[in-house]
Amino acid sequence: MRYDLRNFSSPFRLERKASARALLAVRADMYRPELYAKSRCNEASGGIRYGYCCARYIPRGENVPDDEEGSYDFGLGAGFYVDATQAPWDKHYKMYSYIVNELPALIESEFPVTKERAISGHSMGGHGALVIGMRNPNKFVSVSAFSPISNPSDCPWGEKALGRYLGDDKAAWQDYDASLLLASKTHSVPLLVEQGTKDEFLHEQLKPQSLVHAAQQSDTQLTLNMHEGYDHSYFFIASFIEEHLEFHAGHMGLI
């Protein structure tokens, strides 16, 4: 896996005794400065001492396979934060392990940060954040998501990606489905989700009510905020990023 440490940023000057940082599993299909500007990460930080990393969502390097049709929802368009098991994807598409193990280890070796982490994401990145956070409560103190793909086993985007990355056996998909993980109550990490009511992908692809039903089934606390009139854009993130930063800061003991 190739890394770009320029993707690590902080609203304060990192000194030797810096505090915790948030790992953002954002689907970064914009260049970093544009993403930060549109999501207001720095502006909304409020002086909280943390760093954040907008992680990549696909592998980099030569000879990385791509979807033959160049689709935006598979291959180099969407890594889906899984560890692929099917050829030819299984050699390079290890984005779950990248976020859980490789990237944190690299950041902690290069920057003066603690081991306290939180994770957040948008859309496919929201799916990644929920899955990774719930499967690793010992690594992430809190999890949040904007417009996440909540039940990928039961939506066109997820069925396509999980089927091709993991194979036809849907039992292998369960570890990468936030709603199924939540229903089984395999985690103990605070969850915060934002969703716009005018999101064009709301009913077919995102299905946040699957999270609600799963939380009810497992008697697990979930905060899902539905926002009238908001769509799927980065400006939706900008509208509520401050609340998410405060949410994570609180669980990391920074405020």
Which residues are part of the catalytic machinery? 123, 199, 232
> Which region holds residue 47: left if phi is over 0, alpha if psi is between -120 and 50, else beta?
left
Report the DSSP beta bridge partners of residue 54.
Answer: 24
* Inter-residue contact 19 to 49 (CB < 8 Å): yes
Q: How far apart are CA 58 and CA 129, in angstroms?
A: 15
Tokens 């854009």 label which residue? Answer: 233
Residues in the chain: 255
Half-sphere exposure of 245 (CA within 13 A, CB side): 23
CB 85 within 8 A of CB 166: yes
With 0-12 / 13-18 / 19 or more C-beta atoms within 10 angstroms meaning exposed / middle / buried, residue 80 is buried
